[in-house]
Structure 1
């Protein structure tokens, strides 16, 4: 594409160079620059793209775009085009869509946002649409799936892909004759304008918890990020049971469709849902609303919902020696509570193994400690992606919420040993919940990202248990 064609409908100031040149791609990451690329020097939350202009030029960038007025041109060769635009994150979204031929306009796109449940609802919708004979892609935390088959992981397990990656993927979906795309819309993705030029047919608001308050700078900023989906989607679906979601839904220009624990768009009819937990019953109802808005009759939807299955790492069950183990992604207070409530309904002893992520919301730690102590028979606190923080300090933060509970609590910082300890101690008929990582395949400790899978560790723990039993 000619740079002039890309910029004809976008305000810009040319500081040097020419816009009459061919460009081959656009990126905000200097590591992915190729010859003829536009490099967008955007200031991120951690790093400033201005620091990587030299690297981008060395790799072949022929255009630099920034939203900073004051830029030192002395280090940029005269033949390199330099443009100043009003908003670099919006420009990346616009340019990525343009250079891919605006593929979102050829697809039916459903975007799911909420603190908890995005992955499950996305996969539920995908499963029902496939049952209805549609070709569907599901894009989110657990990866990219086309017609139920795993295609690839998302970069850094990002919930919502950067626009420069998303639009080429949507073009690939069109080329594969996919008709429907279901994607997870994170608050950070919405705030960063990753979906700004991705026309959304249906948006779904599941719930609003506290998990990302710190990252956004406060509760209201987090809510405002979620609310951006209102302006992007033609139609909205809202969880009526979540009071905050219900309140902000009144601000929508078009009245949304509501769902709740006892209804789907006001329909009180019984749905046969074979997935564990009241929260997953609610997730299934959210998915049903999406099909209703796509003009599927309720009686037809009932046929599809009975075959729903949970995605990997969402109450994923493994049973051996009379012990049921569940691996779940629950890493927020709300998510941990609903999972433990579901498991307690079985009337058995519940062992909870969990931790909290480092460099993330600190307020949730004591809350999760209190929830685990209240709903569990035994609690084992351990590490869960401590990142740059000291694991012991994170655990102390969690422990501060357990004061006053009589629940036995052990601390085993090494997650592998914590899982093995729980399975070794559990008795016939007990339940073990390993929470926080779910589908994740790594553990982030300090600057190291190490291979780690909770379910694989569970299976190894049973091998060790049986080996010890044989010896004794």
Structure 2
């Protein structure tokens, strides 16, 4: 708890009305989360304007309203109205202060990049645990402490908003966590969700095609990623990605590069023999994680001894096998990620490679045709289906995908229902074949126009494999 005056001290703002010495118990930009003693941040978002919910926040116990506009009329007069330059930066500052700045007392590593964030954060968490630390991993697949997933009411987002992140970090500190490894998405960085969170090491993995439309173009997307370099004490960068190298050229902090070339960063002798996970991209992910441990002060020879124990997180090349039919569930939802997985699987497949995939709605449309072209290039058969269409017409999304190969290809089939697309692929597989189900990975829901519905690629594939065996036996 802090007084409002303490929260506003040294922060640029103007205040009018109400009792400025009110006790503050929390801060939020969601009026439904307001409790007695909370500050309500009435920010204008992409879809909703927080000022429309000021009265609701007051009725629920708000002790102050924060805005970043001066042209509003009919503001409440019986409660402090705080005008700040940027609501997003203020909520990050206030959340950190109310939580007692827990990030300052733990080692924090943030990983950004179009692909591989989840895998790298989990690799780092696993390595830290092997050295006797108590790490927390926060990202797309949830919140893990010591490798065990926590039950938490935080939203399912790659990078948590500050009002959730800092209380969570405080909880981690109370649980004895020594290191926090988190995913830093482009959207999270652009929205200042990690502002006022002290970060020791940043990792830049790659720049691919994703979220361009949400940022307003590729340059804006890259600018968002670049922000991480301005927030950390040291950077680890993929030397094999020229765009990544260019993005850190003007940094004044230490920059360490990683890559397959033995002249880059630390050279890991015999790592390929010790690293058991397939895929060149996963090898690079392991190198990024190793470099993080080296920067934290661990000896390379000691780190490499644990590399054979590394495991991929849920939904990343997650394998099911029955009667010599292998099914892989993977989160690949960008052209680069899909190509990397397809290339890896095609090299290990002695039968047919059958791919099931779609593209998310209300996301970068430019990648759809490219992903369709890649799927046909590497696969014997492709079933194009729904992913998370959200409020977009699923058939329109599929039409965009089909444009990647002219819309007329005998190897391609369209099956709108994802459940039946998975069943068709599994049932059509013969011994030696591989089925790749790409795009949703670990997700347990499908985002439709009517909202979220329960759906798991893994469970549907598991069920289909079992039923296939039963039918074949009979």
TM class by shorter chain equals: over 0.9
Partner Cα separation in structure 1 for residue 151 and residue 362 of structure 2: 27
1:422 matched to 2:421: no
Aligned pairs for 1:38-49 within 5 A: 38-49=39-50
The alpha-carbon deviation at position 461 of structure 1 amounts to: 0.8
Aligned pairs for 1:167-316 within 5 A: 167-263=166-262, 265-271=265-271, 272-316=274-318
Contact 1:137–1:146 (Cα < 8 Å) also in 2: yes
Contact 1:3–1:22 (Cα < 8 Å) also in 2: yes
1:343 matched to 2:345: yes
Partner Cα separation in structure 1 for residue 303 and residue 410 of structure 2: 43
Normalization by structure 1: what TM-score? Answer: 0.97
Contact 1:386–1:446 (Cα < 8 Å) also in 2: yes
The alpha-carbon deviation at position 406 of structure 1 amounts to: 5.8
Corresponding residue for residue 357 of structure 1: 360
Q: Deviations over 1:398-449 (max 9, x none)?
A: 0000239966001100000000000010100000000000000001111221
Aligned pairs for 1:75-94 within 5 A: 76=76, 78-94=77-93
Contact 2:279–2:341 (Cα < 8 Å) also in 1: yes
User: 55-64 or 395-404: which moved more?
Assistant: 395-404
Contact 1:373–1:405 (Cα < 8 Å) also in 2: no
Corresponding residue for residue 54 of structure 1: 55
1:166 matched to 2:168: no
- 1:379 is paired with a residue whose SS is strand
1:431 matched to 2:434: yes
Partner Cα separation in structure 2 for residue 311 and residue 317 of structure 1: 12
CA RMSD of aligned residues (A): 1.4
Aligned pairs for 1:379-394 within 5 A: 379-394=382-397
Q: Deviations over 1:197-239 (max 9, x none)?
A: 0010000000011111000000100000000001101000000
User: 393-402 or 40-49: which moved more?
Assistant: 40-49
Contact 2:349–2:433 (Cα < 8 Å) also in 1: no
Which runs of no fewer than 5 residues in structure 2 stay unpaired?
Answer: none
Contact 1:142–1:154 (Cα < 8 Å) also in 2: no
User: 182-191 or 41-50: which moved more?
Assistant: 41-50
Contact 1:26–1:37 (Cα < 8 Å) also in 2: yes
Partner Cα separation in structure 1 for residue 295 and residue 269 of structure 2: 17
- 2:309 is paired with a residue whose SS is coil
Contact 1:374–1:405 (Cα < 8 Å) also in 2: no
Partner Cα separation in structure 2 for residue 108 and residue 172 of structure 1: 15
Corresponding residue for residue 123 of structure 1: 122
User: 233-242 or 339-348: which moved more?
Assistant: 339-348
Partner Cα separation in structure 1 for residue 257 and residue 33 of structure 2: 42
Closer/same/farther in 2, CA of residues 405 and 284 from structure 1, 3 Å limit:
farther
Contact 1:276–1:342 (Cα < 8 Å) also in 2: yes
Corresponding residue for residue 32 of structure 1: 33
Corresponding residue for residue 102 of structure 2: 103
Partner Cα separation in structure 2 for residue 192 and residue 122 of structure 1: 21
User: 459-468 or 259-268: which moved more?
Assistant: 259-268
The alpha-carbon deviation at position 262 of structure 1 amounts to: 3.8
Partner Cα separation in structure 2 for residue 314 and residue 111 of structure 1: 20
Corresponding residue for residue 141 of structure 2: 142
- 2:66 is paired with a residue whose SS is strand
Partner Cα separation in structure 2 for residue 190 and residue 3 of structure 1: 27
Partner Cα separation in structure 2 for residue 312 and residue 402 of structure 1: 31
Q: Name segments (4+ residues, structure 1) moved above 3 Å.
A: 153-156, 404-407
- 1:301 is paired with a residue whose SS is helix
Closer/same/farther in 2, CA of residues 128 and 266 from structure 1, 3 Å limit:
closer
The alpha-carbon deviation at position 157 of structure 1 amounts to: 1.8
Partner Cα separation in structure 1 for residue 251 and residue 433 of structure 2: 46
Partner Cα separation in structure 1 for residue 217 and residue 345 of structure 2: 32
User: 341-350 or 85-94: which moved more?
Assistant: 341-350
Corresponding residue for residue 70 of structure 1: 71
